[in-house]
Amino acid sequence: MIRVDIRAKRFGETPVLGPIRFEIAKGETVALIGPSGVGKTTLLRIVAGIDTDFDGAVERPEALAFVFQEPTLLLWRSALDNLLLVHPGLSRVQAVAALDSTGLAGKEALFPGQLSLGQQRRLALARAVAGQPELLIMDEPFVSLDAETAETMLALTETLIARHQPATLFVTHSRTEAERLGDRILSLRAGPEGATLD
Strand extents, DSSP E, 25-176: 29-33, 55-59, 64-67, 135-139, 167-171
At 173 the pLDDT is 87
Q: Is the confidence at residue 144, as pLDDT, over 80? A: no
Mean pLDDT of the 35-54 span: 94
pLDDT of residue 70: 84
**Which pLDDT value is given to residue 149?**
81
Q: What is the pLDDT averaged over residues 80-94?
A: 91
pLDDT of residue 27: 94
Q: Which CATH class is domain 1-63+134-198?
A: alpha beta
Predicted pLDDT at 69: 83
Under 8 Å between Cβ of 137 and 47:
yes
| DSSP states of 94-117 | HHHHHHHHTT-TT-TT--GGGS-H
* Tally of CB atoms within 10 A around 190: 15
Q: What whole-number distance in Å separates Cα of residue 162 and Cα of residue 131?
A: 15
Arithmetic mean of pLDDT over the chain = 92
Per-residue pLDDT averaged across 175-183, rounded? 92
Greater pLDDT, 13 or 30: 30
pLDDT band per the 50, 70, 90 thresholds, residue 41: very high
Mean pLDDT on 132-149: 87
Query: Residue 40 pLDDT more than 80?
Result: yes
- Rounded alpha-carbon distances, angstroms, from residue 54 to 7, 20, 156, 167: 8, 12, 34, 23
pTM: 0.91
